[in-house]
Amino acid sequence: AGQVTSASAGARIDALLESARRKLGEPQCTALMAAGAAMSTADAVRFATDTAAPPAGPGTGFSIPAQREASAPDGRGGLTLREREIATLIARGMSNRGIAGELTISPATAARHVANIFAKLGFSSRAQVAAWAVEHETNGHG
Protein backbone atom coordinates (compact mmCIF):
# COMPACT_ATOMS: atom_id res chain seq x y z
CA ALA A 1 0.00 0.00 0.00
CA GLY A 2 1.24 3.47 -0.85
CA GLN A 3 3.84 2.23 -3.30
CA VAL A 4 3.96 3.70 -6.77
CA THR A 5 4.29 1.08 -9.46
CA SER A 6 6.13 1.87 -12.65
CA ALA A 7 2.84 1.41 -14.54
CA SER A 8 1.05 3.97 -12.37
CA ALA A 9 4.02 6.35 -12.55
CA GLY A 10 4.07 5.99 -16.33
CA ALA A 11 0.34 6.69 -16.52
CA ARG A 12 0.81 9.79 -14.34
CA ILE A 13 3.65 11.05 -16.54
CA ASP A 14 1.58 10.43 -19.68
CA ALA A 15 -1.34 12.38 -18.18
CA LEU A 16 0.95 15.29 -17.25
CA LEU A 17 2.51 15.34 -20.72
CA GLU A 18 -0.91 15.35 -22.35
CA SER A 19 -1.97 18.24 -20.13
CA ALA A 20 1.20 20.13 -21.05
CA ARG A 21 0.58 19.54 -24.77
CA ARG A 22 -2.95 20.93 -24.46
CA LYS A 23 -1.80 23.99 -22.49
CA LEU A 24 1.40 24.78 -24.39
CA GLY A 25 0.68 23.47 -27.86
CA GLU A 26 2.62 20.76 -29.65
CA PRO A 27 5.53 22.93 -30.98
CA GLN A 28 6.44 24.36 -27.58
CA CYS A 29 5.98 21.03 -25.82
CA THR A 30 8.20 19.31 -28.39
CA ALA A 31 10.86 22.02 -28.04
CA LEU A 32 10.82 21.79 -24.25
CA MET A 33 10.99 17.98 -24.36
CA ALA A 34 14.00 18.19 -26.70
CA ALA A 35 15.71 20.70 -24.41
CA GLY A 36 15.05 18.46 -21.42
CA ALA A 37 16.35 15.38 -23.21
CA ALA A 38 19.58 17.24 -24.00
CA MET A 39 20.20 18.02 -20.31
CA SER A 40 22.28 15.94 -17.95
CA THR A 41 20.50 14.71 -14.84
CA ALA A 42 22.31 17.35 -12.76
CA ASP A 43 21.30 20.12 -15.18
CA ALA A 44 17.68 18.89 -15.20
CA VAL A 45 17.56 18.96 -11.40
CA ARG A 46 19.16 22.42 -11.35
CA PHE A 47 16.65 23.63 -13.97
CA ALA A 48 13.72 22.22 -12.01
CA THR A 49 14.84 23.82 -8.77
CA ASP A 50 15.82 27.14 -10.40
CA THR A 51 12.41 27.55 -12.03
CA ALA A 52 10.30 26.21 -9.17
CA ALA A 53 7.04 28.07 -8.71
CA PRO A 54 3.61 27.26 -7.33
CA PRO A 55 1.87 24.58 -9.41
CA ALA A 56 0.07 25.76 -12.53
CA GLY A 57 -3.23 24.58 -11.14
CA PRO A 58 -4.81 22.31 -8.54
CA GLY A 59 -3.56 18.77 -8.89
CA THR A 60 -1.30 19.48 -11.86
CA GLY A 61 1.93 18.65 -10.06
CA PHE A 62 3.96 20.96 -12.28
CA SER A 63 4.38 24.59 -13.14
CA ILE A 64 5.15 26.48 -16.30
CA PRO A 65 7.59 29.42 -16.06
CA ALA A 66 5.91 32.65 -17.13
CA GLN A 67 7.19 34.21 -20.32
CA ARG A 68 9.15 37.32 -19.49
CA GLU A 69 8.62 39.22 -22.72
CA ALA A 70 5.66 39.34 -25.04
CA SER A 71 6.28 38.51 -28.67
CA ALA A 72 6.29 41.60 -30.83
CA PRO A 73 5.71 41.73 -34.60
CA ASP A 74 9.08 43.41 -35.15
CA GLY A 75 10.63 41.04 -37.69
CA ARG A 76 12.73 39.43 -34.96
CA GLY A 77 10.20 36.74 -34.06
CA GLY A 78 9.62 38.31 -30.66
CA LEU A 79 13.00 37.04 -29.48
CA THR A 80 14.79 38.75 -26.62
CA LEU A 81 18.25 40.21 -27.16
CA ARG A 82 19.78 37.14 -25.45
CA GLU A 83 17.72 34.77 -27.61
CA ARG A 84 18.86 36.55 -30.78
CA GLU A 85 22.45 36.26 -29.56
CA ILE A 86 21.94 32.53 -28.99
CA ALA A 87 20.32 32.14 -32.42
CA THR A 88 23.51 33.60 -33.90
CA LEU A 89 25.62 31.09 -31.96
CA ILE A 90 23.36 28.26 -33.17
CA ALA A 91 23.95 29.50 -36.73
CA ARG A 92 27.69 29.17 -36.03
CA GLY A 93 27.08 25.50 -35.21
CA MET A 94 27.49 25.75 -31.45
CA SER A 95 26.00 23.15 -29.10
CA ASN A 96 24.21 24.11 -25.88
CA ARG A 97 27.44 23.37 -24.02
CA GLY A 98 29.40 25.60 -26.43
CA ILE A 99 26.83 28.38 -26.08
CA ALA A 100 27.03 28.04 -22.30
CA GLY A 101 30.81 28.41 -22.38
CA GLU A 102 30.70 31.36 -24.76
CA LEU A 103 28.11 33.26 -22.70
CA THR A 104 29.21 32.06 -19.25
CA ILE A 105 25.83 30.49 -18.47
CA SER A 106 24.92 26.93 -17.51
CA PRO A 107 24.13 24.38 -20.22
CA ALA A 108 20.64 24.12 -18.69
CA THR A 109 20.12 27.86 -19.16
CA ALA A 110 21.36 27.59 -22.75
CA ALA A 111 18.93 24.70 -23.34
CA ARG A 112 16.09 26.75 -21.86
CA HIS A 113 16.88 29.66 -24.21
CA VAL A 114 17.02 27.29 -27.20
CA ALA A 115 13.64 25.82 -26.22
CA ASN A 116 12.20 29.33 -25.95
CA ILE A 117 13.56 30.18 -29.42
CA PHE A 118 12.00 27.00 -30.87
CA ALA A 119 8.66 27.82 -29.26
CA LYS A 120 8.59 31.49 -30.26
CA LEU A 121 9.57 30.80 -33.86
CA GLY A 122 7.55 27.57 -34.16
CA PHE A 123 10.66 25.58 -35.10
CA SER A 124 11.69 22.06 -34.17
CA SER A 125 15.36 21.99 -35.22
CA ARG A 126 18.57 23.94 -34.78
CA ALA A 127 18.94 24.02 -38.58
CA GLN A 128 15.70 26.01 -38.83
CA VAL A 129 16.97 28.45 -36.17
CA ALA A 130 20.30 28.77 -37.99
CA ALA A 131 18.56 29.53 -41.29
CA TRP A 132 16.32 32.07 -39.54
CA ALA A 133 19.34 33.73 -37.89
CA VAL A 134 21.18 34.02 -41.21
CA GLU A 135 18.07 35.35 -42.96
CA HIS A 136 17.52 37.94 -40.24
CA GLU A 137 21.26 38.65 -39.87
CA THR A 138 21.05 38.42 -36.12
CA ASN A 139 24.08 39.54 -34.20
CA GLY A 140 22.45 39.72 -30.80
CA HIS A 141 21.82 43.43 -31.23
CA GLY A 142 18.89 43.66 -33.60
Q: What is the pLDDT of residues 87-112, one digit of tens each?
A: 999 999 999 999 999 999 999 999 99
pLDDT of residue 89: 94
Cα separation, 90 vs 112, whole angstroms: 14
Q: Domain map of the chain by residue range? A: 26-53+72-142
CA 64 to chain centre: 11
Residue 90: how many CB atoms within 10 A of its CB? 26
Any idea which fold 26-53+72-142 has?
Arc Repressor Mutant, subunit A (1.10.10)
Claim: this prediction has a pTM higher than 0.75: no
Higher pLDDT among residues 56 and 80, named by residue? 80
Q: Which helix (H) or strand (E) holds 107?
A: helix 107-121
pLDDT of residue 76: 63
pLDDT band at 20 (very low <50, low <70, confident <90, very high): confident
Cα separation, 104 vs 26, whole angstroms: 31
Residue 130: how many CB atoms within 10 A of its CB? 19
